[in-house]
Amino acid sequence: MMIKKLMQFARQRVLPKRVVQALCWTAASIGVCAAASAQTVPEKFGTMPATWSAQVSPNGAHLALGCSPTGVRGVCIYELDGTAKPRLILPPEEGRIQNVLWGSDDYLIYELETFERLNTSSGLRDYNIRRMVSYSLKTEKTAILLKNVGGFADLTYIESRLVNDPGKIQSSISFGSGTSESTGSRLNKSAGAKSFIVYDVDLKSGQAKVKESFSGDTFGAVYDASGERLALLDWNPKNQNFEVISTLDGRKTVFQEPDAQLLPFYVAGLGDSKESLIVSFDDETRYGLYHLSLLDGAISEVTYNEEHIGRVATFQDPFTNEVIGYRYTDDLRQDVYISAPFDQIAQETKDALQADSVILTSWSKDRTLFTIRAITAGRPDQFFLYDLEEPSISPIGGEAPWLEGEPLGQVQSFEYAARDGMTLYGYMTTPPGASEGPLPMVLLPHGGPEARDTAHYDWLAQAIASQGYLVLQPNFRGSAGYGQAYRDAGFGEFGGKMIEDIVDAAKWAQGAGLAAGDEYCVIGASYGGYAAMMTDLHDPQGVQCLVSINGVSNPSSLVGSYDRDGIGFAYWEQYMGDQYKLSDDARTAMTPLDRSGEFTAAMLLMHGREDTVVPVSQSRAMNRKLESQSNFRYAEIDGDDHFLSSTDSRLQVLTETLSFLEMHHPVD
């Protein structure tokens, strides 16, 4: 009965008229009402999402939409009773908004990232500083949170909303040797941790007051939503002993692992009570989600439909800190809810919207009002407001409303065999209305490398496919989402079999009659940019051109910037091999910069000047090696980071890339 009622309301505007007009105003401010046919190809696909987030306030009175009215991420705030004009929050010229959530009924919190060049003991270094900013609905004033705690790259971790004290949140910092990282459910190894400090943060002033602090081995803790401490997390850098200490009643060690080179698990959140944690193991004996009792240390598998849940992302109810579901990816992101009423609501709205997947992005504290993200393969996302009491569903925004009704490339999964027999997977996008082939081919390997591509709408893949290309996105070994063995098969293969897998995807498409001719181009960003360069070195006869966006040209120098005792260094060594035991030949073999004289394909390098994930120096060094070659071009992206977070940068990337393809690998 509920589904039938929802079907009657699905995609109907039942919001107050003034709110609907406000939503249209936001769309008009970025020109989304214009027909897609009037836009250039870069504008169609490179314009930042009109809506990128939807968050309802705890009392259900306000709606905050992530919007991009000026070509960068902003926040649009609406009163759901339609009594006030919408409000627009934009970042300062030197900043970027990365996330948005409600701290309380009266305060919105957004994450602000700024690029700064700081003097350190090792000289000038570039940082993307991430801070939380609160916005008061009553005064319309902002405050930088933890404003009296300075000098750190990321101060955006919220441990508890402090549901009993709505004017504050709780945050924490772990101070280590040369690094400091937020902990809690995002545990990180902090070698020689000197102290762990927990703060109560006032949302009005931004001031942080020390709630409690720990020195020695403690590097993290677990709290409930009201701020009550439940457990401490200790790691001794000398004997590498890892412990979980329950503080429910005094102090009691409930889990211990000696010689912990890496953390055996991270804490995902609370179980169905304060006496149980849900943790995510990744070691030789356990892999996936487990219950850890804070009473006696008992460990048991977390199951769903009588099956053990693997190592997947989890999400919590922000009003309880209880884990209410987990996230995995098949062709699309799928959120599975293991608690009522979320499981029923997700299924009913999915059926009503006829979506391939739905995500409950937020809900009111009384669980009567929900924001929904609807995902359909190969199409931009849509956002809806669901009122459980009506029941009704109202459209509140879309990722790219200017593409509604436009034909887009069809996205399909494929499976192929690597040269060593391993079964691999990927996705292909064919041009709108095109037959199966043969078509000129472009490979688009993903970044990470522990990431993956899906059937989700991809602005870069769709832009390239719209010009008549077959776009292949191979999920080479080492990619996430296919299990531990698939991921681990990439260890030590950073520039080896992972690259061969990309070449083998091209050979498969050619052999299947999908790709025209023997030549293709490779385009990628981050690790994908590195992979594009390495693919040319592995298959110089096949690669006609390559585009590297924010790519790595010297992986050893990149990993060398990490603290040798930190988890970042250990993580990258899994993929690259022991940096202190690699032979010179092995190091050269995986380094495009050292092999610059071997490139034969036309090459386009682009890099954001404010990229701190892969510094621009990686591409500048390659430019110095190749700038005299006629088939090489280098361009810097002014004022943008690693993730192409503005319309201007995406337009530049698409304009340069499509022109480069037309010159070196034309469709006809």
**Per-residue pLDDT reduced to its tens digit, 574-631:** 888 877 778 889 999 999 999 999 999 999 999 998 888 899 999 999 999 999 999 9
376-430 pLDDT, tens digit each: 999 999 999 999 998 899 999 999 999 999 999 999 999 999 999 999 999 999 9
- Quote the pLDDT of residue 239: 84
Which residues have C-beta within 8 Å of that of residue 563, sequence separation ≥ 6? 177, 178, 179, 191, 569
Spatial contact of 409 and 462, defined as CB atoms under 8 Å apart:
yes
What's the pLDDT score for residue 20? 47
CA distance 393 to 536: 50
In this predicted structure, the answer to whether residue 191 has a pLDDT above a threshold of 60 is no
Region 258-287: mean pLDDT is 88
- Percent over 90 (pLDDT), the chain: 69
Distance (Å, rounded) from C-alpha 428 to C-alpha 505?
Answer: 11
Q: What does the pLDDT average to over 487-500?
A: 94
* 3-class state of residue 59 by DSSP: coil
Strand order across the 392-398 sheet: 357-363, 369-376, 379-387, 392-398
Comparing 634 with 235, which gets the higher pLDDT?
634
Rounded Cα distance between 645 and 49, Å, is: 10
φ and ψ at 590, to 5 degrees? -100, 10
CB atoms within 10 A of CB 458: 22
Angle between the N-to-C axes of helices 527-538 and 497-511, in degrees from 0 to 180, rounded to the nearest 10:
70
Q: What is the pLDDT of residue 566?
A: 62
Most confident stretch, 44-58, 156-170, 307-321: 44-58
Confidence of residue 282 (pLDDT cuts 50, 70, 90): confident
Q: For domain 410-664, which architecture applies?
A: 3-Layer(aba) Sandwich (3.40)
Distance, CA of 504 to CA of 508 (rounded, Å): 6
DSSP per-residue string spanning 209-232: EEEEEEETTEEEEEE-TT--EEEE
Rg (CA), the chain: 25
Q: Rounded mean pLDDT of 417-446?
A: 94
- CB within 8 A of 637, min separation 6: which ones? 606, 607, 608, 609, 644, 649, 652, 653
Residues 6+ apart with CB under 8 A from 442: 464, 469, 470, 471, 472, 520, 521, 522, 523, 661, 665
Q: How confident is the model at residue 548 (pLDDT cuts 50, 70, 90)?
A: very high
Report whether pLDDT(36) > 70. Answer: no
Q: Which two tokens stand for residue 178?
A: 């040369």
Q: Round to whole Å and give the CA distance between 76 and 51.
A: 9
What are the domain boundaries of the chain?
Answer: 1-103+340-404, 144-160+162-224+226-317, 410-664
Return d(Cα 200, Cα 170) in angstroms, integer: 5
> Given this model, what pLDDT does residue 175 score?
72
What's the rounded Cα separation, in Å, for the pair 416 and 427?
11
CA distance 100 to 109: 6
| Whole-number pLDDT of residue 311 | 83
Q: Return the pLDDT at 190.
A: 41
Residue 360: predicted pLDDT = 97
What is the pLDDT confidence band of residue 285, given thresholds at 50, 70 and 90?
A: confident
- Weakest mean pLDDT among 177-191, 335-349, 521-535, 589-603: 177-191
Task: Name which residue leads in pLDDT, 150 or 65.
Answer: 65
Query: Sheet holding 168-175: strands in order across?
Result: 180-181, 168-175, 195-202, 208-215
Q: Is the pLDDT of residue 97 over 60?
A: yes
pLDDT on residue 439? 96
The Cα–Cα gap between 619 and 553 comes to 7
Q: Does 178 score more than 70 pLDDT?
A: no
Residues found in the chain: 668
Average pLDDT over residues 210-231: 93
E strand map for 57-175 = 62-67, 74-79, 87-89, 95-102, 107-120, 123-136, 142-144, 154-155, 168-175
CB-based contact 535:551 (threshold 8 Å): no
Residue-by-residue DSSP string for 373-437: EEEETTEEEEEEEEETTTTEEEEEEES-GGGTT----EEEEEEEE-TTS-EEEEEEEEPTT--S-
Euclidean distance between CA atoms 233 and 168, whole angstroms: 24
For residue 656, the number of C-alpha atoms closer than 13 Å in the C-beta half-sphere is: 22
Residue-level pLDDT at 324: 94
Give the helix ranges, DSSP H, for 437-554.
459-465, 484-488, 497-511, 527-538
Instruction: Compute the distance between CA of residue 348 and CA of residue 345 in angstroms, rounded to an integer.
Output: 5
Classify residue 27 as left (phi > 0), alpha (psi -120 to 50) or beta.
alpha
Q: pTM for this one? A: 0.88
- Asked if the model's pLDDT at residue 196 lies above 60, the reply is yes
Q: Which of the four pLDDT bands, split at 50, 70 and 90, describes residue 18?
A: very low
Tell me how far apart the alpha carbons of residues 623 and 607 are, in angstroms, rounded to a whole number: 11
Instruction: List the one residue out of 394, 370, 374, 384 whose CA is nearest residue 15.
Output: 394
**Mean pLDDT for the chain overall:** 88
Average pLDDT over residues 475-493: 93
Encode pLDDT of 223-261 as tens digits.
999 999 999 999 887 888 999 999 999 999 999 999 887
Greater model confidence, 561 or 381: 381
> 409 to each of 162, 438, 459, how far by Cα in Å?
46, 15, 11
Which two three-digit tokens encode residue 623? 């430019």
Over residues 555-568, the mean pLDDT reads: 72
Question: What pLDDT does residue 537 have?
Answer: 97
Mean pLDDT value across residues 78-107: 92
